[in-house]
Chains A and B, each alone.
Chain A
């Protein structure tokens, strides 16, 4: 049986930039263990004779011809943007902060 320790959860929370209390870290590490147990159960059921599926449909490389079709105008595409500049979405700077 695999499990995730409190410290593992703290590391994941740090990566995700989510602040968590000590109680939350302990509670989540317990919940992760339940989920990992569920994974283990699925592995028991899916024997060697069951082919791995990544998708419910037997689809492969769905292509279409590269033709121009009507699309949104820049004004329409940006109609919900909180801020815009030169027909682009303007977002807060996240790199190169001082």
Chain B
């Protein structure tokens, strides 16, 4: 059950084949059995998650109209404030702090009845790319425990890859969602800046930070994005416009006529043969779908260094 996609879990919940309580318990059991090795979680809210799941089952039993992901569990990066739940950002500085309020992302998750299992490990205050720089010890890559899960959101990406959660929240300033997704074979998107509220997200670099969806499939990421995105008066940089219909786009899968930018430097020195192949194969696949590939030069590494300095 825990190896299904979030969309499949949601369908089974709707069909009454499984309860949110059972689904949540299955993920808590998985965490109990593998997280000593993976160390994706800093805090597991067993009681809160089970109570939330039971409440959602009760609503469903009463025939209430629920959101598409209602009852599906999720892992939350420890950089987002959740009322009453320890929020450390992977740092001892915040050890013991329990926020008196919910971040907007958490409020949206609760509104959509997505069950929050616990808080995931990260590089301290999101400054890092390997999740080795957490004050609470490193997270390991479930594919090979001797390797890193990427960072700073390595806890969220590892939780997905280890089937400890089908959905997770990440935050991305200069790659902290996308790079861990790449390193663990999962899906992660940095939404357009302003697409998801930053209220209650502990800042790293305010004009670049952006929360976004992490999942094991593109459709699951799209479903989660539509749940958390939207205008928020509490974030002055929040986009005051309708959320793009990414779920419909993910279901249609129509990429004809799109232009895709390819960073020229990715053909340069320093990449292992396997990494090159992983880049080349999807590119030739995309070309077959009659996409236009635009090669462009990139200054990311330097500019990122500048922007966060």
Contact = CB atoms under 8 A, between A and B. Distances in A.
Interface in A53-98: 55-57, 59, 62, 64, 72, 76-77, 79-80
A38 B302 contact: yes
Interface stretch (B14-22, B57-65, B94-102, B154-162): B94-102
List of 8 A-B pairs having minimum Cβ-Cβ separation, nearest first: A38-B302, A76-B100, A62-B236, A56-B193, A79-B100, A80-B97, A38-B306, A57-B194
A35 B309 contact: yes
Interface string B276-291: 0000000000000000
Contact of A41 (B194, B207, B233, B302): B302
Interface residue range, chain A: 10 to 19
B278 to A, nearest CB: 28
B36 interface: no
B207 A55 contact: yes
Contacts of B273: none
Contact of A39 (B97, B99, B101, B306): B306
A1 interface: no
B264 to A, nearest CB: 14
Contact of B194 (A39, A42, A56): A56
A59 B236 contact: yes
A45 interface: yes
B236 A80 contact: no
B4 interface: no
13 contacts: A34-B305, A38-B302, A38-B303, A38-B306, A42-B303, A55-B207, A56-B194, A57-B237, A57-B239, A64-B233, A72-B101, A79-B98, A80-B99
Interface residue range, chain B: 10 to 19
B100 A57 contact: no
Contacts of A59: 236-237
Nearest to B192: A56
A57 B239 CA distance: 8
A78 to B, nearest CB: 9
Given A35-B305, A56-B194, 6 more contacts: A34-B305, A35-B309, A42-B306, A57-B237, A79-B100, A80-B100
B299 interface: yes
A66 B299 CA distance: 43
A18 B97 CA distance: 26
Contacts of A56: 193-194, 207
Interface string B143-178: 000000000000000000000000000000000000
Nearest to B94: A80
Contacts of B233: 64
Interface in A13-49: 34-35, 38-39, 41-42, 45
B41 to A, nearest CB: 22
A35 B100 contact: no
Nearest to A45: B299
A38 B207 contact: no
Nearest to A82: B96
Contacts of A79: 98, 100
A43 B303 CA distance: 11
Contacts of B306: 35, 38-39, 42
A57 B206 CA distance: 13
A34 B309 CA distance: 12
Nearest to A71: B101
Contact of A80 (B98, B193, B305): B98
Given A42-B302, A55-B237, A62-B236, A77 B100 contact: yes
B128 to A, nearest CB: 17
